[in-house]
Amino acid sequence: MTDPLAFLGAELDELRAKGLYRRLRVVESEQAAHCRIDGREVITLSSNNYLGLTTHPKLRRAAIEAVEAFGAGSGAVRTIAGTMTLHQQLEARLAEFKHVEATLTFQSGFTANTGAIPILAPEGSVIVSDELNHASIIDGIRLSKAERRIFPHADTDALRATLRDIRSAPGGADRTVLVITDGVFSMDGDIARLPEIVEAAEEFEAAVFVDDAHASGVLGRNGRGTVDHFDLHGRVHVQVGTLSKAIGVLGGYVAGSLNLREVLIHRARPFLFSTSHPPAVAAACLAAIDVLESEPDRLERLWANTRLFKDGMRRLGFDIGGSETPITPVIAGSGALAMKLSDRLFEEGVFAQGIGFPTVPDARSRVRTIVTAEHSETDLAECLAAFELVGRELGLI
């Protein structure tokens, strides 16, 4: 009998032939600057744990106390019996932190985008999206019935021209228009030109939606994100943040008006049909916000390490693109070469994951690195030495 799923094996064979097949690396220790991965002690440059909060004593203690007080799980979706006092406290604290009326937490940043975008852009509206926006934004757009327009990455002149075209078309003056951008672009590490985006949107009466996954905890005062970084409070209608990266725990949230929160509660499908966060998650997130506000030195160390590593990579002659944040792509070219670079670095004691097509174009395949506040200068010197050795071996420098 013919296997109806035989194409799966063929797809895996193709990945192996192109040098793109990857197996999951297994972390056998805490998620820290030094990890044990697949039996090897390495310095990791592939964690989103920007500020080292995953192992912070305050977060550990908060999680343990929440389990003891509330149990291991919440037991239901939020709209039935799964809204606990900790969830309400977290959302109130996030709203205060982000300087907005209200927030609503989701199981992940991905579900925050796929839950919110279809509601904010109903049938008959138009979504205008940067071409390099995150996959969760792309999937959120696909779930909507809105018309979609894509503008070239960071090209605000093209954005303005697109908005003008929408408004000048028959019936365009009355359409809902939603402009969506990442705050920090996850593969290249550049920051959205948010002031220009907001100005263009205001000129053409469009709403602005910013996904701040890689800006949360990284940009702005105490890590409040790109809106705070550019002092655009009150001018960005929707902010999506993550609790899974610099915050060090799990989840995502949508920040904006009280009306937005109430509509999402009633209509956002990931919110309606997913069990709420375990008490330990909500409690640890609350503790993380305390740390962001009380330990600004962590953010300072993050940026000092970022400058040190980028300067070293540039001196060595690597192509690191136009990164402006702790995300530093090391462009290798082909996907196979990027994976070889990653594998050789691992052998030299540095874990930095290779990324190729379809996440990025094959010719821009890379090893994506992220330094954290936990790396020491010695750690970064060892990483730079490994990159120099392997980069010369593979002809990248």
Cβ count within 10 A of residue 159: 25
Q: Would you say 101 and 256 are in contact if contact means Cβ atoms under 8 Å apart?
A: yes
Q: How far apart are CA 373 and CA 292, in angstroms?
A: 13
Three-state SS for 68? helix
Residue-by-residue pLDDT tens, the chain, 397 positions: 789 999 999 999 998 888 888 889 999 999 999 999 999 999 999 999 999 999 999 999 999 999 999 999 999 999 999 999 999 999 999 999 999 999 999 999 999 999 999 999 999 999 999 999 999 999 999 999 999 999 999 999 999 999 999 999 999 999 999 999 999 999 999 999 999 999 999 999 999 999 999 999 999 999 999 999 999 999 999 999 999 999 999 999 999 999 999 999 999 999 999 999 999 999 999 999 999 999 999 999 999 999 999 999 999 999 999 999 999 999 998 999 999 999 999 999 999 999 988 889 989 999 999 999 999 999 999 999 999 999 999 999 9
Q: Would you say 292 and 284 are in contact if contact means Cβ atoms under 8 Å apart?
A: no
DSSP state of 78: I
Q: What is the pLDDT of residue 310?
A: 98
Q: Would you say 131 and 150 are in contact if contact means Cβ atoms under 8 Å apart?
A: yes
- Which residues neighbour 289 within 8 Å (Cβ) at sequence distance 6 or greater? 93, 94, 97, 247
Element (H, E) at 288: helix 279-294
Q: Would you say 104 and 91 are in contact if contact means Cβ atoms under 8 Å apart?
A: yes
DSSP state of 3: -
| Long-range contacts of residues 219-222, Cβ cutoff 8 Å, at least 24 apart | 219/183, 219/184, 219/191, 219/325, 222/97, 222/292, 222/293, 222/296, 222/299
Instruction: Name the pairing type of β-strands 177-182 and 126-130.
Output: parallel
Cβ count within 10 A of residue 203: 12
Q: How far apart are CA 123 and CA 13, in angstroms?
A: 41
Q: How far apart are CA 139 and CA 118, in angstroms?
A: 10
Q: What is the pLDDT of residue 19?
A: 81
Q: How far apart are CA 144 and CA 163, in angstroms?
A: 19
Q: What is the pLDDT of residue 96?
A: 98
- The one-letter amino acid code at 364 reads R
Q: What is the pLDDT of residue 357?
A: 87
CA angle, 299 as apex, 294 and 302 as ends, to 5°?
150
Annotated catalytic sites, by residue?
186, 214, 245
Instruction: Spell out the domains of the chain, with CATH numbers in brackets.
Output: 18-47+296-393 (3.90.1150.10), 57-293 (3.40.640.10)
